[in-house]
Amino acid sequence: MTTATVARFKTLDLIYISLFAVLISVCSWISVPATIPFTMQTFGVFLTGGLLGPRRGVAAVFIYLLLGLVGLPVFAGFTGGPGILLSPPGGYLVGFLGAALVTGLTARSGRKTWVLALGMLAGLLICYAFGTAWFMAVYARNTGPIGLAAALSWCVIPFVIPDLLKIIAACALTNRLGRYIK
C-alpha cells in the first residue's frame, strides 16, 4: 500500500468517525423528556457500531461524549457539560461505548442479520447494566438508597420495547448501507 492510500484511509476514517458522532448527536435531539429521556441515541450508537466496526464505532461514540463533556449541546434536550455525564442517567451515555464495541465486533461476522441483532442486544444489555449501576450509585449519593427493582422500573423497563424496535431498524439499515461504508 502506498503512503497516499494509507493517508486516504486515515482521512476517510476521520470523516466517518466525525459524521457518525454528529449522527448520534442528532439522534439525541429526537427526544421525549422523562427521568431518563426517550431518545434515538441508542439507534445512532447501534448504527455506528454496525457500520463502522469496533475501532471507528467506539471512536465516534467517544468523540460524541467528549463534545458533550466540553459543553456542546449534543445530549438529549440540547444539553451538554460534565454535569450531564455525572448525573444519574450519565452512565447510560458512558455505556454507549460498550454498546458500540460489542455491536462493532459482531458486525465483523459478515453482516449476518441474526448475529448483528444479537450483538446489538448484548450491547444494549451492557448499556443497561452500566447505566443502571451508575444511576443507583449517583442517586444514592444525591438522594438516598434505591433498590434495583425501582431503578429497573424507572430506567430500563420503559425502554425495552422502544430499544428493541431501534435494534430492528439499525439492523435493517446496517445491512442496507453496509456495502457503501469501507
Walking along the chain (182 residues) 10 residues at a time, the average pLDDT comes out as 66 95 96 81 97 96 98 94 94 97 89 90 97 96 94 94 96 91 78
Give the residue numbers spanning the domain of 33. Answer: 3-180
Q: What is d(CA 45, CA 131) in angstroms, rounded to the nearest whole number?
A: 15
- Assigned C-alpha cell, 94: 458512558
The whole-number pLDDT of residue 82 equals: 97
Closest residue by Cα to residue 156 from 141, 136, 138, 142: 136
Q: How far is CA 1 from the centre of its chain?
A: 33
pLDDT at 33: 78
The span from the CA of 5 to the CA of 71, in Å, is: 36
pLDDT given at position 15 = 96
Q: What is the DSSP letter of 31?
A: E
Q: How far apart are CA 119 and CA 50, in angstroms?
A: 9
> 16 is written with which cell numbers?
466517518
CA angle 49, 52, 54 (to 5 degrees): 60
Q: What pLDDT score was predicted for residue 40?
A: 95
> CATH code at 123?
1.10.1760.20
C-alpha cell belonging to residue 79:
444539553
In one-letter notation, the amino acid at residue 180 is Y
pLDDT at 18: 97
Show Cβ contacts of residue 152 under 8 Å, excluding neighbours closer than 6 positions.
132
> What is the pLDDT, as a whole number, of residue 8?
65
Q: At which residue does the C-alpha cell 453482516 appear?
A: 111
C-alpha cell at 47: 448504527
Q: Quote the number of domains for the chain.
A: 1
The pTM for the full model equals 0.92
